[in-house]
Amino acid sequence: MEESSATSSSSSSSSSSSHYFSIFTNYPLISAVLAFTIAQLIKFFTSWYKEKRWDLKRLCGSGGMPSSHSATVTALAMAVGLQEGFGGSHFAIALVLTSIVMYDATGVRLHAGRQAEVLNQIVYELPAEHPLSESIPLRELLGHTPPQVVAGGVLGIATAAFGYLITLIAK
């Protein structure tokens, strides 16, 4: 009796430890992280190409081409759809999340960035003796234009589709 109890205990602990490592084989999560990474690297290298200097802020900053937020959520939704089916509730949740993020990127965040530009210009033109003249400028690169969001979406779909093909080949 003690032997079977020890065996079930050991199998449940090995099962739970393998459960922790399943995050490294989670296809939707890997697709999303990979799409984000690729988008940020594209921004980093295009920034270097245009400005001839390395800007480490481009590796983790928001804004620019392509939208890493759009790439991330689109890859997640596509991977969930490919893995679990496009008719299920998991895909529906991922699709709604994707729609909200992409709408927010071209709406609220884009306009907040444009307002930051105007406010920074106003502060820049203040006389030196004004208390706000020395304030730290607001971040202007917050949102995305529609082409940047679409490019991020295409990148996310391509990343998830490529990952899916790899999982099919690996089986």
Residue 31 · residue 117 · CB < 8 Å = no
137 in a structural domain: yes
- 171 residues of the chain, pLDDT tens digit each: 444 444 444 444 445 556 667 778 899 999 999 999 999 999 888 876 777 777 666 666 666 778 889 999 999 999 999 999 999 999 999 999 999 999 888 777 666 767 777 877 777 777 777 777 677 776 666 667 888 899 999 999 999 999 999 988 887
71 in a structural domain: yes
72 in a structural domain: yes
- Tally of domains in the chain: 1
113 in a structural domain: yes
64 in a structural domain: yes
Angstrom CA distances, 7 to 16, 31, 104, 124, stand at 14, 36, 52, 72
By the 10 Å C-beta count (0-12 exposed, 13-18 middle, 19+ buried), 64 is classed as buried
Angstrom CA distances, 77 to 14, 74, 126, 158, stand at 31, 5, 47, 12
Q: What residue numbers bound the domain in which 134 lies?
A: 26-52+60-170
11 in a structural domain: no
- The Cα–Cα gap between 138 and 93 comes to 34
Of 46, 100, 49, the residue nearest 72 (C-alpha): 100
What is the pTM assigned to this prediction?
0.72
